[in-house]
Chains A and B, each alone.
Chain A
Amino acid sequence: MTNSPAADPANSPQATDQATGPATDPATPSTATQPPAPPRRTPLTGVHEKLGASLTDFAGWLMPLRYGSETAEHTAVRTAAGLFDLSHMGEFAVTGPDAAASLDYALTGEPSALRPGRARYTMICAENGGILDDLIVYRLADEEFLVVANAANAAVVGAALADRIQGRDAQVSDRTDDYALIAIQGPRAAAILANLTSADLAAVKYYASYPAQVAGREVLLARTGYTGEDGFEIFAAPDDAEHLWAELSRAGAADGLVPAGLAARDTLRLEAGMPLYGNELSADLTPFDAGLGRVVKLDKPGDFVGRRALAERAQAAPQRQLVGLTSQSRRVPRHGYAVLWDGQPCGVVTSGAPSPTLGVPIAMAYVRPDVTVAASNSGPGTGRLAVDVRGTAEPATLVELPFYRRPA
């Protein structure tokens, strides 16, 4: 039994190497001859080891892939709650009188329009409009923002932010090592958390954040997530991480809370139709390609990095469209497989997995816009739309994203 190269579990969830910073610059080849650094540990890696997790090197961090069955972890998040260690995420503080204006210039969104205590999903793009990373920006105070970046892109984001605020009265500092990040996600998340905090959770709206005490520790509590469920992300001091993890686990045990790894996180976000950098997002694509043009605030005042290219792209006819596919075959479309229309390549799968919730394989793919029109018109079951699964055309059906929406 041998893994096919297109779907090596070591790459899954797709740890991206696409972050092109100084380390991959041909002018600095010295890194190639040095042995790779051992992956970094989070404040909770020891806890995961005690729990018997399968650990994997993800973007340079030793992270839990699964604790037992990733399908059971996925289902627990959909029906009860799951606990995630996200301490590998990059955190950058942007502070100072010009912090808001600096971020308006550096990012595609308009953080200056956020009220303190609110957060927004946004992107950081290159001058040519290519996506460097997708981010969540929290406004903590008038002159204080927290930018959360993907681990694989943290160095690129940090460098770009530092570069883009030059000449302004603002500072960027890398706070990744100052925060442990624990997410509790699922329909029971709020009820479980309520046992450990006097904070009024009903007042913490989706994409809001505020300082709170959880299990006696000062944290930043945010109602954000990457699973398609209600839930919270808890930014805490690294020294408090084990205490919080233990208290949350204890408080949630009766409600079915389980620790959940990156494998479940990937299938949860895929069902929820959420893009993953390195799969749906890359430096070769703009937010418009990914159907996320709404994060580009072309009407905000002042210039921002990528404005000209993105304004052009907003007017241009799209060359590709991000779509959802389901398969009636049990063979799973995987990252990199070709999408076929009448047997001819018309796109590529960016993410695919057997969906625990739907019970069939699901995938996101970039396809030619004329094909999405034709496939919508011709309806399912014609067999004209297919995915090349290792040499066999497996019929696929075009579906609306997301694959899963939580019950209201």
Chain B
Amino acid sequence: MTVPSELYYTPEHEWVALNGATASVGITDHAQRALGDVVFVSAPTTGSRVTAGEPCGEVESTKSVSDLYSPVDGEVTEVNPEIDDDPGLVNSDPYGAGWLFRVHLDDTDGEVPPGLLSAAEYAALTKEEE
């Protein structure tokens, strides 16, 4: 299982890549393994507002469905257009081509948004679960 060190994480198994005022969001390698083959992602639409800790979509796999939680507060600026045609990208490249949506952060003070976990903290959390 991979947990890239440059990303931040939620206890609900989303990852966040911070780049200035923009946050890219996806689900972790741990999550995609637990879900199995992803067949459909219902992501928030461009222009919608998301709130940290609130459900903003769904991830359907062969065996289950999970809520997708926004890790941050802000406005959705972009949704990965490839995922609708090829949801398997979430399995094959969860931290790359399988990204789900991007958010323009409300707070752009340069601080890491509250409540996010570091890679080390997330790795410890998933180890506990196993």
Q: Are B58 and A331 in contact (CB under 8 A)?
A: yes
Q: Do the beta carbons of B33 and A332 come within 8 Å of each other?
A: no
- Contact between A12 and B13 (Cβ–Cβ < 8 Å)? no
Q: Judging by beta carbons under 8 Å apart, are A332 and B65 in contact?
A: yes
Q: How far is the CA of A133 from the CA of B46 in the complex (A)?
A: 50
Contact: A69 with B60, CB < 8 Å? Answer: no
- Whether A9 contacts B35 in the complex (CB less than 8 A), given A3-B64, A263-B62, comes out as yes
Given known contacts A263-B36, A330-B39, A354-B39, A1 and B12 CB-to-CB distance under 8 angstroms:
yes
A1 near B66: Cβ-Cβ < 8 Å: yes
**A57 interfacial contact with B, CB 8 Å:** no
CA distance A54 to B36 in the complex (A): 10
Q: Do B39 and A332 touch (CB < 8 A)?
A: yes
A65 to B60, CA, bound (A): 17
Assess the B36–A1 pair: CB atoms within 8 A.
no
| 3 residue pairs, one from A and one from B, having the closest CB atoms | A12-B63, A330-B40, A7-B64
Determine the chain B residues whose CB is within 8 A of the CB of A330 once the complex forms. 39-40, 60
**Shortest beta-carbon distance from A227 to chain B in Å:** 15
Q: Out of A12, A54, A267, which one reaches B64, CB within 8 Å? A: A12
Q: Mark B37-70, 1 if CB is under 8 A from A, else 0.
A: 1011010000000000000001111111111110
Query: Is A34 at the interface (CB under 8 A from chain B)?
Result: no
Q: Using a CB–CB distance below 8 Å, which chain B residues touch chain A?
A: 10, 12-14, 27, 31, 33-37, 39-40, 42, 58-69, 91
Q: Do B64 and A70 have beta carbons less than 8 Å apart?
A: no
Could you give, for residues 247-268 of chain A, a 1 whenever the CB lies within 8 Å of some chain B CB and a 0 otherwise? 0000000000000000100110
Minimum CB–CB distance from A190 to chain B (whole Å) comes to: 28
Give chain A's interface residues, CB within 8 Å of chain B: 1-4, 7-9, 12-13, 54, 65-66, 69-71, 263, 266-267, 330-332, 334, 353-354, 356, 390
Chain B, residue nearest A266 (CB):
B63
Contact A70 to B62, CB < 8 A, known contacts A9-B35, A263-B36: yes
Specify which chain B residues have a CB less than 8 angstroms from the CB of A65 in the assembled complex: 36
Residues of B within 8 A of A390 (CB): 58, 65
Are B40 and A331 interface neighbours, CB within 8 A? yes
28 A-B pairs whose Cβ atoms sit less than 8 Å apart in the complex: A1-B10, A1-B12, A1-B31, A2-B12, A2-B67, A4-B64, A7-B63, A9-B61, A9-B63, A9-B64, A12-B63, A12-B64, A13-B63, A70-B37, A70-B63, A71-B39, A267-B62, A330-B39, A330-B60, A331-B40, A331-B42, A331-B65, A332-B40, A332-B60, A334-B64, A354-B39, A354-B62, A356-B62
A69's closest neighbor in chain B, by CB?
B37
Q: Of all chain A residues, which has the CB nearest B11?
A: A2
Q: Which of B14, B31, B67 contacts A4 (CB 8 A)?
A: B67
Looking at the assembled complex, report how far the CB atom of B67 sits from the nearest CB atom of chain A, in whole angstroms.
Answer: 5
Task: Check if A1 sits within 8 Å of B33, measured CB to CB.
Answer: no
9 further contact pairs, Cβ within 8 A, besides A70-B63, A266-B63: A1-B12, A1-B67, A13-B63, A54-B33, A263-B63, A330-B40, A331-B58, A353-B62, A356-B62
- Which residue on B lies nearest to A7, using beta carbons? B64
Whether B36 and A70, one on each chain, are in contact in the complex, defined by CB atoms closer than 8 angstroms, is yes
Interface contact A7-B62, CB-CB below 8 Å: no
| Contact assessment for A353 and B91 in the assembled complex, using a CB-CB cutoff below 8 Å | no
- Minimum CB–CB distance from A306 to chain B (whole Å) comes to 34
Could you tell me if A334 and B65 are in contact, using CB atoms closer than 8 angstroms?
A: yes
| Residues in B whose Cβ lies below 8 Å from that of A263 | 36, 62-63
Residues of A within 8 A of B65 (CB): 3-4, 7, 331-332, 334, 390
Residues of B within 8 A of A267 (CB): 62
Q: Which residues of B contact A3 (CB under 8 A)?
A: 64-66
A360 to B65, CA, bound (A): 15
What separation, in Å, do the CA atoms of A54 and B32 have in the docked complex? 12
Chain B residues lying within 8 Å of A334, measured Cβ to Cβ, are 64-65
- CB-based contact B27/A1 at 8 Å: yes
| Residues in chain A near residue B60, CB distance under 8 A | 330-332, 354
Q: Which of A8, A54, A354, A390 has the most CB of B within 10 A?
A: A354
Determine how close the nearest CB of chain B comes to the CB of A333; give it in whole angstroms. 10
Nearest chain A CB to B44 CB, angstrom units: 13
Q: Which residues of chain A come closer than 8 Å to B66, judged between CB atoms? A: 1-4
For residue B59, which residues in chain A have a CB less than 8 angstroms away from its CB? 1
Nearest chain B CB to A363 CB, angstrom units: 13
